[in-house]
Structure 1
Amino acid sequence: MENKKIAHDPLVLLARRAAAAGAQVLSGRDEEKFNTDEKSAAGDWVTDFDRAAEEAIRATIFTARPNDELTGEEFPSQKPANPSGYRWSIDPLDGTTNFVRNIAYYCSSVGVCQRQDDGTDLWVAAAIVAPALQVEYFAGRGQGAWKHDLRTKKITQLTGPVESDAKLLGTGFGYDAERREFQLSVLTELLPDFVNIRRIGSAALDLCLVAEGSLDAYAEFGTQEYDWAAGALIAEETGTPVGRPVGYPGWQYAGLVDTSKLVSPKV
């Protein structure tokens, strides 16, 4: 069972309710209702489920905290007249390709940050719900990271990966061919440190798998904030080294990875 502090933290509770609201939409998966469109490139899909899940998440947050800023993947930012200093970053359906192809690794991801006096963002609460896997991950700053098995109702604290001679690396690839070529070149440098790689198809769940120790490391170039907003805090709260991209594009990483090899592309 999670500790009492995180069990009653209002931001964590709201993040969990919001992610669950999005996942509830996704649990109604129906191929006849996808209405699939392409965004940046072939295979970069968005469906009516992406949009409906984001609407459900936004409504949940706005009802509880109307003065918080809302940013997400599918709709413009929602800025209040009297901002609270808190901003939510929403990925309503991380792993849309998996969702469309009926691969279980997709989720709703919700993270919230607080603007600091120096202008930086401090990520303070996060929740991710994967409906097909029937699992929830959540974290609060300074309160640890947790996994909730929605079938058994069991909640366990996550402790991250441990040193191993058989390390697994998680990664992902962009839709642009030139970016994939660059990513592969870096992957070639990273591979000697690992026995194999996994490509899950959801950055949010990759980070959660590092948090629970199923993956030893994750590194991907070119992710957007909503991809990692929740998952990075969940991994970080296990004591796992985490790097968030500075600007866009950049490297997102977590776990036992040699960061000196995460170079930038040659311009």
Structure 2
Amino acid sequence: MTEMQVNPSFRLAYVPGVTPGKWVRVWDERLPDVQLDLLAVPVGDGERTLREGGADAGLVRLPVDKDVLSAIPLYTEATVVVFPKDHWLAAAEEVALDDLAEEVVFHPLDDTLGLTADTLPGRPAVARPDTTADAVELVAANVGVLLVPQSLARLHHRRDLTYRPVPEAPQSQVALSWPQERTTDLVEEFIGIVRGRTVNSSRGRGQAEPAAQPKKAAAPRKPQQQKAGGQKAGAQKAGAQKAGGAKAGGQKPRPSAGGRGAAAARRGKPKRRS
């Protein structure tokens, strides 16, 4: 059973690389009287923020503790490798993990791919960068390369860097998550938005638009009207056929031979007497 939320506001946390704009726009259209506050949090703080009540829901990266948090997976991101534009990897359309065997591959502390020392391809760096942003700076210094979700490569874009997809690499999954014990009506409303529910099918507090009134069925015609209509239609059809026949001939119909003989007998001169 959902809880009623007294304070008409909704706090949504989101981690780097996630863009909640399209869902926020739908929220503003559907619930203009409820303020939605966006809270940007570091990738490693998404789960903690939800646990401690810092947000009502969050767009975070899996995994999360499912004993405490509910989560609805939204999409899975492609993984790319980031490197300098003049790097030899730039000649390929996509990169295999074996191509990184001789490369220094950075493993930041806020890694989003679930990599470990055993699963990290290539050669490890001397030290792990604190953040993905720090690792990107090292890549720009031509010290090594970096595996990240594509959205983070775009977020930390630099003109001297580029990236290529790595289909074999682990991938990051983004989910909508919230505390199980605080599933409010507004949380249900946001769930409906990210799932693409319409206003009429939403389970939250958003007001549905009034349904269109059904059109009244046309009254059946009376038998007399139907009969009169049928007779009129038949007469019109017969007239059309007669007119069509006259038009097709181009002249008025001429009388038959028998008819001409009878008329001549009536109009002829009297016979001579013998």
With the shorter chain as reference, the TM-score category is under 0.3
Q: Taking structure 1 as the reference length, what is the TM-score of the superposition?
A: 0.26
Q: Taking structure 2 as the reference length, what is the TM-score of the superposition?
A: 0.25
Higher relative contact order (CA 8 A, sep 6+): 2
* Max Rg structure: 2
Q: Give 1 or 2: higher strand fraction.
A: 1
